[in-house]
Amino acid sequence: MSTPTSILIVDDDPDDRELLMEAIKEFNDQVICDEISGSVEALKILSSDRLNSPQYIFLDLNMPMMTGKECLAEIKKMEHLTKSNIIIYTTSQREDDVHELLELGALFFLVKPSVFSELKEAIRYILSGDTGDIKINNLLKR
DSSP secondary-structure letter at 27? Answer: H
Question: Can you say whether the dihedral through the CA atoms of 107, 6, 122, 88 is positive or negative?
Answer: negative
Structural domain of residue 137, as residue ranges?
6-141
Q: What whole-number distance in Å separates Cα of residue 33 and Cα of residue 94?
A: 28
Query: Is residue 59 one of the residues assigned to a domain?
Result: yes
Report which residue type is found at 109. Answer: F
For residue range 44-91, what is the model confidence (pLDDT) as tens digits?
999 886 667 899 999 999 999 999 999 999 999 999 998 999 999 998
* CATH number of the CATH domain containing 27: 3.40.50.2300
Query: Is residue 1 one of the residues assigned to a domain?
Result: no
Query: Is residue 78 one of the residues assigned to a domain?
Result: yes
Q: Considering the entire predicted model, what is its pTM?
A: 0.89
Count of the separate structural domains present in the chain:
1
Q: How confident is the model at residue 92 (pLDDT cuts 50, 70, 90)?
A: confident
